[in-house]
Amino acid sequence: MAETERHGILGTIVRFALRRRGIIIALAALFLGYSVYSLTKARYDVFPEFAPPEVTIHTEAPGFSPDQNEQLITRPVETAISGVGGISSMMSKSIQGLSVVTVKFATGTDVYLARQKIAERLSTLTGQLPTGIAPEMTPLTSSTGNVIVIGLTSAKLSPMQLRTVADWTVRPRLLAVPGVSKVAIFGSQDKELQVQVLPERLIKYDISLEDVISAAQKATGIAGAGFIDGANQRITIRSQGQSLTANEISQTVLEHKNGANVTLGDVAHVTEAPAPQIGGALINGKPGILMVVSAQYGANTLEVTNGLDKAIAELGPALKSQGITLYPGLFRAADFINTALHNINSALILGAILVIIVLFLYLLNLRTAAISCAAIPLSLLGSVVILEKMGLSLNTMTIGGLAIAIGEVVDDAVIDVENIFRRLRENSLLEKPLQKNVLRVVYEASVEVRSAVIYATFAVVLVFIPVLTMSGVSGRFFAPLGLAYIFAILSSLLVALTVTPALSLIMLGGKKLKGEYPC
């Protein structure tokens, strides 16, 4: 009791680690296995989530001019959502046929709760916007959400036919991959059934443009026909009046005059034609289609990419049979991640090797060098487990923090094992009557340097505290690096207080220590 009181709680931890050294080593081995498993299941990404929570509202208004969009759509949307709590900024853009409102929330805001609040406010706009126009929130993606870009070209199909294949064959298959948020298509021509009105024909037949629009809507729409109740059963009536081709729509009757029918074909050209094109896409200098696939917020980029690779491989033969050339790797975030991880892992391995060499040259003892080096995997993997539990991904910044910490995580263990080695050697040179118990020697040697170990550790940690206080994009970008470094250093302190003394007692306690200890 007196010994515990004199050395405090840290002395108690060291004493427990020495007396239960078998349990400590077993727990360390189990933790090592669990951390390796966690490493395989961790979420990988290019960069940390550096953008603040954001909600984007798109409203399509075909035919509206920019000033009409601003007055009739953008301003009502801004007014409706301006009172939502946590908004840090709001930006809007009104162009021909489209209104875009981007709402940014304060750092730390729950993005799902923010979207729910926005959706509730947008529901109050019912009846306030022009007929047939409804604002929509875009799918939620991260700041680095674009995981893959693929291209389609064809010398056999027309641009409109190629776009149809992309819309109805490729896109649904990609959206079915778990973790995919949206698939944006750029380039080529979107197929439409167009009614191209001839003004002179309208004047000739005395028909208004509203009559044409109403007739076209009725011809292409589906209305429920209800049911008929019989004595024993209810019979559902299915209507079959929808026009599906340009020829069928052109035969739609506008009105009956003088014993003859005036049809849509009499006052307009009804044809299959591409929608007005906005932007384009070139693939290797050839016109084609670009499909940008974005991942859901918080999704594992590598897992999503693997799923997309399988889907693209399944689509390959069908597309090839239609004369479509597929370019599956125009952009792949996974390639960047794998390259970055490979480079950083190489730096980690090289750094670990250099640390081991330096430790051996300094300590001139394989056992002491091995004990010190045990802190490297335990500390780094301990940091990985903590980062995973906090919901942070493994990215170039967090792994970079681990690479920076690799030279520091062995400091605590080196200080401890060096003093233990020296005290054990001095004890082995004492005369037999004065020789102390080996466990007591290791305990006193470890406790003797505990203050230096703790002060050095917290001094290093304090250096990185300012990184965690950075605000804005820089703070969200570099804070994970600082956290990874700090967690690795604190993990090395725990290892130095438990695993290092236990290993020293097992590997050095029963050995005869020869030679002069290097200064």
* Residue 487 scores a pLDDT above 90: yes
- Residues with Cβ within 8 Å of residue 418, at least 6 apart in sequence: 363, 368
* Residue 435 scores a pLDDT above 60: no
pLDDT at 204: 86
Mean of pLDDT values over 406-415: 80
pLDDT at 518: 38
Q: In whole angstroms, what is the distance from residue 501 CA to residue 442 CA?
A: 7
Q: Hey, CA dihedral for 255, 261, 262, 263, is it positive or negative? A: positive
Confidence label for 1 from pLDDT (cuts 50, 70 and 90): very low
Which range is least confidently modeled, 24-33, 86-95, 288-297, 345-354?
Answer: 345-354
- Comparing CA positions, the residue from 281, 304, 302, 301 lying closest to residue 291 is 281
Confidence label for 516 from pLDDT (cuts 50, 70 and 90): very low
Give the range with max mean pLDDT: 8-12, 42-46, 238-242, 297-301: 297-301
Q: In whole angstroms, what is the distance from residue 8 CA to residue 221 CA?
A: 81
pTM: 0.73
pLDDT at 354: 77
pLDDT at 510: 61
pLDDT digit string (tens) for 257-305?
Answer: 777 888 888 888 888 888 877 778 888 888 889 999 998 887 888 889 9
Which range is least confidently modeled, 56-60, 252-256, 383-387?
Answer: 252-256
The backbone torsions φ and ψ at residue 309, rounded to the nearest 5 degrees and listed phi first, read: -60, -40
- How many residues are there in the chain? 519
Interaxial angle between packed helices 301-321 and 333-363, expressed in degrees from 0 to 180 and rounded to the nearest 10: 140
pLDDT at 368: 80
- Comparing CA positions, the residue from 485, 482, 460, 458 lying closest to residue 469 is 482
* Residue 359 scores a pLDDT above 50: yes
Confidence label for 451 from pLDDT (cuts 50, 70 and 90): confident
Confidence label for 427 from pLDDT (cuts 50, 70 and 90): confident
Mean pLDDT score of the chain, rounded to an integer?
A: 83
Mean of pLDDT values over 331-351: 79
User: From residue 170, how far is each of 184, 185, 305, 402 by CA, in Å?
Assistant: 12, 11, 16, 41
